[in-house]
Structure 1
Amino acid sequence: MTMERPIIPSRLRGERVTLAHGGGGKAMRDLIEEIFTGVFQPPGTEDQARLTAQALAEPGAQLAFTTDSFVVSPPVFPGGDIGKIAVCGTINDLAVGGAKPLWMSAAFIIEEGCEFELLRRIVASMQAEAEKAGVRIVTGDTKVVGRGAADKVFVTTSGVGVIPPGRDLQAGNIRPGDVALVNGVLGDHGATILAARGDMALSTDIQSDCQSLNALVEAVLHAAPNARAARDATRGGLASALNEMAETAGVAIEIDEIALPLRPEVKGVCEVLGLDPLYLANEGTLVVFVPEAEAEAALHAMRDTEAGRGAARIGLAKPGPAGRVTMRTAFGGQRLVDTLVGEQLPRIC
């Protein structure tokens, strides 16, 4: 016989956040305890989290720290929501530097009138993704602003991880002859957000690729211990990530249009709207450079992970000119893949 969990009545009155929930009194305490700390279960009630990890004691280990803000519109979309993106984005920023993510903070700017149910969904997504990635959300903050001063909810997350001794993933390590690999299809997140906004009357089954990549990075580093660098292709897409890496490394990069993993639906959306899929945002896609001798092992390791089923070899680093990214087109020509000027689609993360 199974025991049903007792139903605990909500202390929150009504269905929406009011300015009183940011005033520091009982209403604010009820909001924080019922929506946030009741789910995240941070260690202690002080104004700071006190953390220890055995990994920090290893000689040569480095602490990695990152922070990011998320303002995606709409806050809920096919494949995820602003909470899932906030956790995945921060975890991925640590992972592509070789760090093992351990802890996160989460701060919320909430607009008066935001629905409690939306907050509950966002927080549940954050906790589920953090648990899946083996990360703890250990501290945070909430602020409430008046109507029109925000758009329902904005989230700021910071992440702390440990880079084990001997790891050195950074773009400056890329050498001519290194192979560029991606872990899956490109542009799904950007296309999903565009369709979800409803401005273009687009009908599509595309879902965001939003996912944490730390397990995939660990698999790649196990299979290819001399991997050079990795970068998650978020705002500005694959093209911007490659340009940043080429400039830092002082190499040229050439990619192959035929090798790029793109869904027909994403290609179709881009053709209709005049967008370039190379610049569409991703929230669960990275590009990694590895030596030629380790490329096949890295590719197989990626494909053995949940986040890397669609992994592909897409190009090479070349001697020069430094910082130049080109694409060999399906027709055999060459096309310059320059840095994005402005933004194709704002508020995608």
Structure 2
Amino acid sequence: MNIFSANSSANSLFQKIEQVRRRRSKVHDTNITLAHGSGGKAMRDLIDDIFVSNFDNPILSQLEDQATFNLASLMQQGDRLAFTTDSYVVDPLFFPGGDIGELAVNGTINDLAVSGAKPLYLTCSVILEEGLPIETLRRVATSMQAAAKKAGIQIVTGDTKVVHRGAADKLFINTTGIGVIRPGIAISAHNIQPTDVVIINGELGNHGTAILIARGELALETDIESDCQPLHDLVETILDICPEIHAMRDATRGGLATVLNEFALSSNVAIRINEQSIPIREEVKGVCEILGLDPLYLANEGKLVVVVGRENADKVLSAMQSHPAGKNSCIIGEVISSPPGIVLLKTIFGAERIVDMLVGDQLPRIC
């Protein structure tokens, strides 16, 4: 027997075995079971069929316990890393204008973007309740990949856990994001100074209102959709025209009021906003009046608050209005020196009132 021929046959056999082992599996169950979190074949089938098939990219396809990156490549795009993590427990999972998967991708992208970072990679970890329909999970994963592809980023690693029926509410998602910040960008709430101008990129409160209506607990009908969208391209447009942005934040839970209070406290300044300048849909105002809510505290998932020096305000506003995600941008207020740490609202009647930090929660499980 020729030993080389035998070795060749053995290698060929091993290659075929490896090809079979690496062939993607299919999940045949209709609902999540505890076995899908056990680490065995059922879990491998679920990961292959739902996540790997959707998120497929060269980094993820290695299927290691971690994703690895080329540092030299990252350094060509910036001189600092931005790193963030967030969890999503929104109820319901699907709502007008989006779903928990799209929300998880865009929300983490936006947390990176407001630092001036270019988002590059995301992780995806899911906690699944026993009994969740497989097709619901597949729909969410497909939505996540569509959002990631649209934003030009990759989902490169993740984790799956299953808990007993009743120990969670259907599906929770955690995403972690990594991005790079180009040289010369130093965005921070501590940079805010008196005479700065406050700009937002459109209508407030649409996401919170859409979620509220989607829960079906109220006999209300509107065509309001969530404003869920990625903001990194809009941020890049802003920074291209004005790298000297002082502060930037997306107004999610707690809404515009909470962001402005955080800004005022961080820089020990006061911020005055004009009620007549704040864009809010009449339908949102109507829902808030019926339920006793304040639209300034309603959550958003595609709204950007920008603070910039007065000398750059007009060109920043023009750049924002030229972008699809900022076509309704407007100046809503200014930074003043006192009273420090306070946000003031000039009402439509000409009076002023304090806009305090949100106490409690107007609407839980909003994102």
Give TM-score, length-normalised by structure 1. Answer: 0.95
Q: Distance in 2 between matches of 1:343 and 1:43?
A: 41
Q: 1:203 to 1:293 in 2, by over 3 A?
A: same
2:326 counterpart residue number? 308
2:170 is the counterpart of 1:152? yes
Q: 1:195 to 1:60 in 2, by over 3 A?
A: closer
Q: Distance in 1 between matches of 2:318 and 2:341?
A: 29
Q: Distance in 2 between matches of 1:193 and 1:106?
A: 23
1:101 counterpart residue number? 119
1:179 counterpart residue number? 197
Cα contact 1:224–1:295 (8 A) shared by 2: no
2:99 is the counterpart of 1:81? yes
How far 1:24 moved relative to its partner? 1.4
Q: Describe how 1:1-349 pairs up with structure 2 within 5 A.
A: 11-41=26-56, 42-52=60-70, 54=72, 56-58=74-76, 61-349=79-367
- Report the AA paired with residue 100 of structure 2: I
- Matched position secondary structure for 1:142: strand
Q: 1:330 to 1:54 in 2, by over 3 A?
A: farther
Cα contact 1:107–1:141 (8 A) shared by 2: yes
1:4 counterpart residue number? none
Q: Distance in 1 between matches of 2:327 and 2:169?
A: 35
Q: Distance in 1 between matches of 2:150 and 2:212?
A: 28
Query: What does the per-residue CA deviation read over 1:13-44, in whole Å, with 9 as the maximum and x for residues that have no partner?
Result: 24211111111111111100000011111241
2:11 counterpart residue number? none
Q: 1:62 to 1:9 in 2, by over 3 A?
A: closer
Q: How many residues are paired up?
A: 342
- Matched position secondary structure for 2:237: helix
How far 1:309 moved relative to its partner? 1.4
Larger Rg: 2
Q: Distance in 2 between matches of 1:171 and 1:30?
A: 46
1:3 counterpart residue number? none
The sequence identity of aligned pairs, in percent, is: 58
How far 1:158 moved relative to its partner? 0.3
Q: Distance in 1 between matches of 2:25 and 2:132?
A: 17
- Gapped runs of 5+ residues in structure 2? 1-22
- Report the AA paired with residue 254 of structure 1: R
- Matched position secondary structure for 2:135: helix
Q: Distance in 1 between matches of 2:345 and 2:118?
A: 33
- Report the AA paired with residue 196 of structure 1: A
Cα contact 2:26–2:45 (8 A) shared by 1: yes
Q: 1:149 to 1:97 in 2, by over 3 A?
A: same
Query: What does the per-residue CA deviation read over 1:242-277, in whole Å, with 9 as the maximum and x for residues that have no partner?
Result: 000110011100000000010111000000100000
How far 1:139 moved relative to its partner? 0.3
Give TM-score, length-normalised by structure 2. Answer: 0.91
- Matched position secondary structure for 2:82: strand
Query: What does the per-residue CA deviation read over 1:96-142, in whole Å, with 9 as the maximum and x for residues that have no partner?
Result: 01111111101000011111111111111111111111111000000
Query: What does the per-residue CA deviation read over 1:151-196, in whole Å, with 9 as the maximum and x for residues that have no partner?
Result: 1100000000111111100000111111100011100000011000
- Matched position secondary structure for 1:288: strand
Cα contact 1:55–1:61 (8 A) shared by 2: no
How far 1:148 moved relative to its partner? 0.4
Q: Distance in 1 between matches of 2:170 and 2:203?
A: 30
Cα contact 1:56–1:62 (8 A) shared by 2: no
Task: Choose 9-18 or 220-229, whichever is displaced more.
Answer: 9-18
Cα contact 1:107–1:156 (8 A) shared by 2: yes
- Gapped runs of 5+ residues in structure 1? 1-7
Q: 1:32 to 1:10 in 2, by over 3 A?
A: closer
Q: Distance in 2 between matches of 1:172 and 1:290?
A: 12
- Matched position secondary structure for 1:159: strand
Cα contact 2:84–2:108 (8 A) shared by 1: yes
Q: Distance in 2 between matches of 1:213 and 1:247?
A: 25
